[in-house]
A and B are shown apart, each in its own frame.
Chain A
C-alpha cells in the first residue's frame, strides 16, 4: 500500500509540472462537446426518442463519464510506453522494492484521481447549464473514476507489450472511438440496430454511461446498478492483473 502511494506521489509530482498542458484535452474538449451538442442539439430534439430529462442532461451525464474513459485510455497508453522506452522511469523503479504490481496499481490509482478531478470540473459546467437533475449527480465524478479504472488496465497491458509508440497510439484511439460509438454517449443505444445493441453490453463504457445517467436523473434501480458496478469493478481487477503480467514480462525480457 505504501509503495502504491509512492507511485501515485511520483505521478503527481510529474503531473503538477505539466498540468496546464492537459487541461484542454481532458476538460475543455468535453465541455465544448457538451455545449455544442448537448445544449444546442438539445434545443432541437428535446422530448423525443425517450430521452429523459432533456437532451443536455442526457449527453451531459454521458460525457461526464466519457471524460473518465478518455483519461483512463490516454494516460495508460503513451505515458506507459514512455516510462518503459523513453524516459524509462519503470526501468529505474526496478532497482527499488516497488514491484510491477505496485507500479500498475499506483499508475491506475493516479489515473482515477485525475479522472475524478476532470469530471468534477465538467460536472460544475453541467450544473451551471441546469443539466443536473438529482443529488445523485454528485456521484458522476466517482463513476467517471471507476470508468477510467475499468479501461486503463487493458490499455496499460497493450502499452507494456507494444514495440512502437504508433501501435500504442492506434490502439488508444481505436478503443476511444469505438467505445464512444457503441456506448450510447450521444444517443440511446435502443436506436441502434438490435445486433449492435447487443455489442454495447460488453462495453464497460456503456455500463458506466447507464450508471451515470441513473445517478444524474436519480432513477437507478438496484438490480441494474449492481450489474453495472459489478462489470466495471471486474474489468478494473482483470485489467490490473493483465497489466501486471504484461509489465512483469516486459521488465524481465
Chain B
C-alpha cells in the first residue's frame, strides 16, 4: 500500500549569493527507509539536510517533509524530526544531562519525562557515568554521542544525522551502528551523511551520491557497485617513484585506472589476469592486491578524486 513519502524533493535548489550549492535535486525517502547521502566535501549534503530539517529556506523547487512544507510549517515539521547536525552545537557550560533535558523541554516534553528520557538516552549512548559532567570536559567522541542522543529525545519519526560517527573510536562507532539498526527496526526513517564507505554500505538501504549539488547516482549499495565498478580491482604499488609518474604504463591492463597518492587501482572483470599481465611487464612492483570492488571504488569513479583528498 502506498505510504506518502517521508521526504520528497523535486528540483530542490539552494543558492548563496551567486553560487548554487544545491542544484535541482530530486529524491524521495520512504517511511522506515534508511538512506545515506554520500559525496565529497562541499557537495551540498549538509545544506540539503538543513533544508529537510527546515532550518534553511530552499531557494527553489519543492520540498515536502512528512507531507508538510518546511517553509510554511517549520515548527510542525521540526517537532517530528530529530537532528544531529554536523557541528555538535552543545552548550558546553551545562552538564550532559542538562543539555538533553533543556533540549527536550523545547519540544514541550514535561519536566519529569524529559529527565527520564535523558537518563535513558545517556545510558543508551554509554554516557551514564558522565551525566553530571560539564560538556566542556567531555571528549570529542563523547560529545558526538551526546549530540546523537539529543536528536532522539523527542522520539522523532525522521532522524537526520549529518556525519554522526565522525570522530568516534571503533567501539563507539559500532555502538552507534547498533543503535541506528535498532532505530530502523522500530520503523524510524533515518537519513544520514557519511564519509565512511563501510558505514554507508552496512547501514543504508539506499544511497544518494551527490556531487556539486546534483545527485549523480542512486541505488542500493550493492546495485551501485555492480553498476559503476567492475567486479574486481587490482591495487598496484611500486618500489620507486610516485604513482603519477608510472601510472600510464598500466594503461590497457584493465578497463580503467585510478591514480592515488600511494598506489594505482586497475579496474577489471578478472583481477588475476591483470596481475599476471602486470608481472609480464617486469615492473619493480612492491605489492599487488586483487580484491572485489567496493563502494569506495564507486566513489572514486563518480566523484573523481575529491573524496580522497578530503
CB proximity to B under 8 Å, residues A1-47:
2-3, 5-7, 9-10, 13-14, 17-18
A147, chain B: closest CB distance, angstroms = 27
Q: Which of B39-47, B98-106, B120-128 contacts A (4 or more CB under 8 A)?
A: B98-106
A105, chain B: closest CB distance, angstroms = 14
- Say whether A96 faces chain B, with CB atoms less than 8 Å apart: yes
Interface residue count for A (Cβ, 8 Å)?
25
- Say whether B21 faces chain A, with CB atoms less than 8 Å apart: no
- Say whether B221 faces chain A, with CB atoms less than 8 Å apart: no
Q: Is the CB of B75 within 8 A of A89?
A: no
CB proximity to A under 8 Å, residues B64-107:
74-76, 78-79, 81, 83, 85, 87, 89-94, 98, 101-103, 105-107
Q: Is the CB of B106 within 8 A of A3?
A: yes
**CB-contact partner of B106 in A91, A96, A251, A252, under 8 A:** A96
CB proximity to B under 8 Å, residues A68-100:
87-89, 91-99
A196, chain B: closest CB distance, angstroms = 42
Interface residues of chain B: helix, strand, loop or mixed (majority) = loop
B69, chain A: closest CB distance, angstroms = 15
Knowing A87-B93, A89-B89 are in contact, say whether A97-B55 is a contact too (CB < 8 A).
no
Contacts of B92 in A (CB 8 A): 87
Contacts of B81 in A (CB 8 A): 95
**CB-contact partner of A10 in B55, B57, B105, under 8 A:** B105
Q: Is the CB of B93 within 8 A of A18?
A: yes
B63, chain A: closest CB distance, angstroms = 16
Contacts of B101 in A (CB 8 A): 13
A14 and B98 alpha carbons, distance in the complex (Å): 9
Interface 1/0s, chain B 126-141, versus A by CB < 8 A?
Answer: 0000000000000000
Interface residue count for B (Cβ, 8 Å)?
27
A3 and B105 alpha carbons, distance in the complex (Å): 8
A93 and B107 alpha carbons, distance in the complex (Å): 10
Contacts of A2 in B (CB 8 A): 108
- Say whether B164 faces chain A, with CB atoms less than 8 Å apart: no
A84, chain B: closest CB distance, angstroms = 11
Knowing A92-B85, A252-B57 are in contact, say whether A97-B93 is a contact too (CB < 8 A).
no
A245 and B59 alpha carbons, distance in the complex (Å): 20
Q: Which residue of B lies closest to A7 (CB)?
A: B106
**CB-contact partner of B93 in A6, A14, A95, A252, under 8 A:** A14
Q: Is the CB of A9 within 8 A of B102?
A: yes
Q: Is the CB of B102 within 8 A of A13?
A: yes
Interface 1/0s, chain A 217-253, versus B by CB < 8 A?
Answer: 0000000000000000000000000000000000110
Contacts of B108 in A (CB 8 A): 2-3, 6, 97
B113, chain A: closest CB distance, angstroms = 13
Contacts of A5 in B (CB 8 A): 105
Q: Is the CB of A97 within 8 A of B98?
A: no
Q: Is the CB of B55 within 8 A of A14?
A: no
Knowing A2-B108, A13-B94 are in contact, say whether A97-B89 is a contact too (CB < 8 A).
no
Knowing A10-B105, A13-B102, A89-B89 are in contact, say whether A95-B94 is a contact too (CB < 8 A).
no
- Say whether B53 faces chain A, with CB atoms less than 8 Å apart: yes
A39 and B303 alpha carbons, distance in the complex (Å): 76
A218, chain B: closest CB distance, angstroms = 42
A97 and B92 alpha carbons, distance in the complex (Å): 22
| Residues of A bordering B, CB below 8 Å | 2-3, 5-7, 9-10, 13-14, 17-18, 87-89, 91-99, 251-252
| Residues of B bordering A, CB below 8 Å | 53, 55-57, 74-76, 78-79, 81, 83, 85, 87, 89-94, 98, 101-103, 105-108
18 contacts between A and B (CB under 8 A): A2-B108, A6-B106, A10-B105, A10-B106, A13-B102, A17-B94, A87-B93, A88-B87, A88-B89, A89-B89, A89-B91, A92-B85, A92-B89, A92-B91, A92-B103, A97-B76, A97-B79, A98-B75
Known: A3-B108, A5-B105, A92-B85. 13 other contacts (CB 8 A): A6-B105, A9-B102, A10-B106, A13-B94, A14-B91, A17-B93, A87-B90, A87-B92, A89-B89, A92-B89, A95-B78, A95-B85, A96-B106
Closest 6 CB pairs of A and B: A92-B89, A96-B106, A97-B75, A6-B105, A94-B55, A10-B102
